[in-house]
Chains A and B, each alone.
Chain A
Amino acid sequence: MALPKYTEPHYRVWHYIYLFICGCVFFFLIAPLFVIFPLSFNAEEFLVITDGMKRLDPDAFSLRWYKDMVYGTKNPWGLAAKNSFFIAIFATIGAVILGTVAALGLSSRYMPYKGIIMATLISPMIVPLIISGVAIFFFMAKAGLAATHTGIVLAHIILGTPFVVITVTATLSGFDHSVTRAAASLGSNPVNTFMKITLPLILPGVISGALFAFVTSFDEVVIVLFLAGLDNTTIPIQMWTGLREQLSPTILSVATCLILLSTLVLVAAELLRRRSERIRGINR
């Protein structure tokens, strides 16, 4: 952002101060993530940057914590990863189906009591997780679903649906309903119209909602803390236990993997957002 030549000096100074402040804030946002990378390659057992690392001594770096993550004795990460993916995938499928169908209804201009119903559907996102956790725990305990994968999947469907509802209704807001009418007038039944016409058009919104639902489930710890038994441990639960008891560098290796995963998700989400904006732009 270049300043015009005629800018007075004190505004010029102020402008550079402003840029400096912005730089500091960006640094504050992103730098903490990068602390994890070097420390996860630490050869020592401590979570501090050793003198060797400062000198860039190759012996100070190693892959031992990554090996420990994969092959370590009585290693909990394998089971945790399996559970996390299992739960997140099924929760995402459930949330996407329920959320997309509900969003279709909500976007109809005939929908009665839209405001209150929307508020109810979004509420799991707003209610503090600890309260959701307590409530869902009471329900699952009564239903005999505590400490089962089913219980956790159901809980995560609850948390995931608001994101799907929001992203899909946003995509539908630019949706031209005459295309579905055209399909109907050409003799297509509603299900066929949805699969062949509506779904491909709203797909970016659906997938970005799915990403949110997946990440929410994959990262969720509060409710799982209430619901999980020993067999239902997930990656966040293992990290939680690790962070509370003792910070071992293995956690940082896992964290590095998670940051890489979130980078992938971010790229996917950005691409989808642009595509969805393009599609909506064309429809307008």
Chain B
Amino acid sequence: MSSETQKILTTDGIPLEVSLKKVEKRNKLKAFLLVAPLLFFLLIVYISPIVGMLFNSVDDRMVTNALPKTFKAMEDWDGKELPSEKVFEAFYFDFRKLTEEEREGKLSTQLNFEKNGFKSIIKKLRRKSKSFEEGNYKEQIMAVHERWGNVEYWRAIQRRAPAYSYSKYLKGVDMYQNEDGKIVQVEEDRRIYKKLWVRTLKIAFYVTLFCFLMAYPIAHLLATLPMKYSNLLMICVLLPFWTSLLVRTASWMILLQQQGVVNDFLVWIGLVADDKRLVMMYNETGTYIAMTQILLPFMVLPLYSVMKTISPSLVRAGKSLGGTPFITFWKVYFPLTIPGIGAGSLLVFILAIGYYITPELVGGASGTLISNQIAYHMKYTLDWSFASAMGLMLLTGVLAVYWIYNKLVGIDNIKLG
């Protein structure tokens, strides 16, 4: 069409099409420039460090760079018997350089992650190696401690030779690469992380379910009551929503402790004997109860905003066509609320799966989640690459749910308050 008709020109003689495109381009640029400050701020301060965690989690250059000569000498060692004098000599020179620069502490931490027992023998070696004589290093090193004569420890060192490794990810699912290079599960009694993943998923799932079961009736009530009553009841939902997380956790700690209000009440009505007060805190129960109450508003609000849009005449129509209240609810009302259920459940699930504060305070040993383990490795064992690996595994799961949420609900539809 446009080729047949004469081109429309603007007053300055440029074809209108070109002129419009130019304006659109300028508008696009203008819009982008407005978003740019926040976008670049986030990319630099937030997104890039998260990507950096990916690097941290596989980065193993610390050990590689600490023992360059040793790993070179180890290249033609088959790993079956104790390495030759050549390796011991190289190790001695590497180690002496490290002690001169006072870097052997970091090495000992890293090697200790690989195999327990390195810390003490490295400390001992540091002390003794000062008076080493030239030559015959194998004998001298082995004399420091019997473990230096154990081939297992040398294999452990060799395993840390590559500059990059995915061993932290394997560790996160209770697996490791054994001496033959095969990926195997760790011994039965040392499998902790798999259990933790399962528990995290389980707790997040049940918390979501409990939240749904409790939120549905009250969201329905809030949506159907006249405005002046529902506004008042809405405060019951919004006040906890705005209250500090720590305050709410503190109140649960008071309620659930053995001398606490809930136990007092149960004893008073005679349901529980005074000497058999329930243990509801520092275990899984505490995590369930506290997390459900804390996350409940995040379920109520999306459900409420969907239910508010459902016209009551639909239910009346269902009833007038002969449906009993139950059938009308199930066939007419419930299907219309599914978007709200989806939005609320995904939001609660996403929040629950990465929860840290509440499980840490009321969860004890049996109620803690993967986040608590990440924090533990960040703060206490200082195995940051392992913490990064676990964090990224968790993040992948969360982003998958976020993606589904975005597809189903759309992030611009998140409702706040």
Contacts and interface: CB of A to CB of B under 8 A. Distances in A.
A48 B49 CA distance: 45
Contacts of B247: 33, 36, 239, 255, 258-259, 262
B214 A169 contact: no
A138 B56 contact: yes
Nearest to B25: A110
Contact of A128 (B37, B48, B238, B398): B398
B240 A243 contact: no
Which 6 A-B residue pairings sit nearest by Cβ, starting from the closest? A128-B354, A105-B34, A108-B31, A105-B35, A135-B49, A110-B27
A46 to B, nearest CB: 8
Given A32-B255, A128-B395, A166 B402 contact: no
B278 interface: no
A32 B32 contact: no
B374 interface: yes
B32 A105 contact: yes
A138 B353 CA distance: 23
B325 interface: yes
A197 interface: no
What bracket does the count of chain A residues touching chain B fall in? Answer: 35 or more
B44 to A, nearest CB: 8
Contact of A130 (B32, B254, B375): B375
Interface string B210-247: 00001101100100110000000101111110111111
Nearest to A122: B411
A63 interface: no
B394 interface: yes
A39 B43 CA distance: 46
A135 B52 contact: yes
A4 to B, nearest CB: 10
Nearest to A131: B391
B361 A244 contact: yes
Given A1-B224, A158-B42, A266 B239 contact: yes
Given A123-B42, A219-B245, A222-B356, 7 more contacts: A36-B251, A115-B406, A128-B353, A130-B374, A135-B49, A139-B48, A208-B416
B38 A102 contact: yes
A25 B30 CA distance: 49
Interface in B374-417: 374-375, 378, 384, 387-388, 391-392, 394-395, 398-399, 402, 406, 411-412, 414, 416-417
B253 interface: yes
Contacts of B402: 119, 123, 126
A160 B184 CA distance: 44
Contacts, number: 274
A273 B217 CA distance: 24
Contacts of A131: 50, 53, 354, 374, 391-392, 394-395
Interface of A: 1, 11, 14, 18-19, 21-22, 25-26, 28-30, 32-33, 35-36, 39, 46-49, 98-99, 101-102, 104-106, 108, 110-112, 115, 117-124, 126-139, 154-155, 157-158, 161, 163, 165-167, 169, 208, 212, 215, 218-219, 221-222, 225-226, 236, 239-240, 243-244, 247, 251-252, 255, 258-259, 262-263, 265-266, 269-270, 273
A108 B33 CA distance: 11
Contact of A33 (B32, B251, B416): B251
B285 to A, nearest CB: 15
B24 interface: yes
B236 A128 contact: no
Contacts of A48: 257, 259-261, 264
Nearest to B215: A25
Given A101-B34, A239-B250, A134 B53 contact: yes
Given A33-B240, A124-B46, A135-B46, A106 B417 contact: no
B7 to A, nearest CB: 24
A221 B199 CA distance: 24
Interface residues of B, number: 90
Interface of B: 24, 27-28, 30-39, 41-43, 45-50, 52-53, 56, 214-215, 217-218, 221, 224-225, 233, 235-240, 242-255, 257, 259-261, 264, 293, 296-297, 325, 350, 353-357, 360-361, 371, 374-375, 378, 384, 387-388, 391-392, 394-395, 398-399, 402, 406, 411-412, 414, 416-417
Contacts of B224: 1
Nearest to B387: A134
B46 A29 contact: no
A265 to B, nearest CB: 5
A271 to B, nearest CB: 12
Contacts of A117: 35, 39
B371 to A, nearest CB: 4
Contacts of A263: 239, 242
Given A102-B34, A105-B33, A136 B49 contact: yes
B248 A243 contact: no
Most buried by B among A25, A48, A138, A219: A25
A121 B414 CA distance: 13
Contacts of A14: 325
Given A122-B411, A127-B398, A166 B416 contact: yes
B30 A26 contact: no
Nearest to A26: B236
Contacts of A158: 41-42, 45-46
A188 to B, nearest CB: 16
Contacts of B412: 118, 166, 169
A36 B254 contact: yes
Contact of B38 (A49, A101, A127, A255): A101
Contact of B244 (A22, A120, A165, A236): A236
Nearest to B239: A266
Contacts of B251: 32-33, 35-36, 255
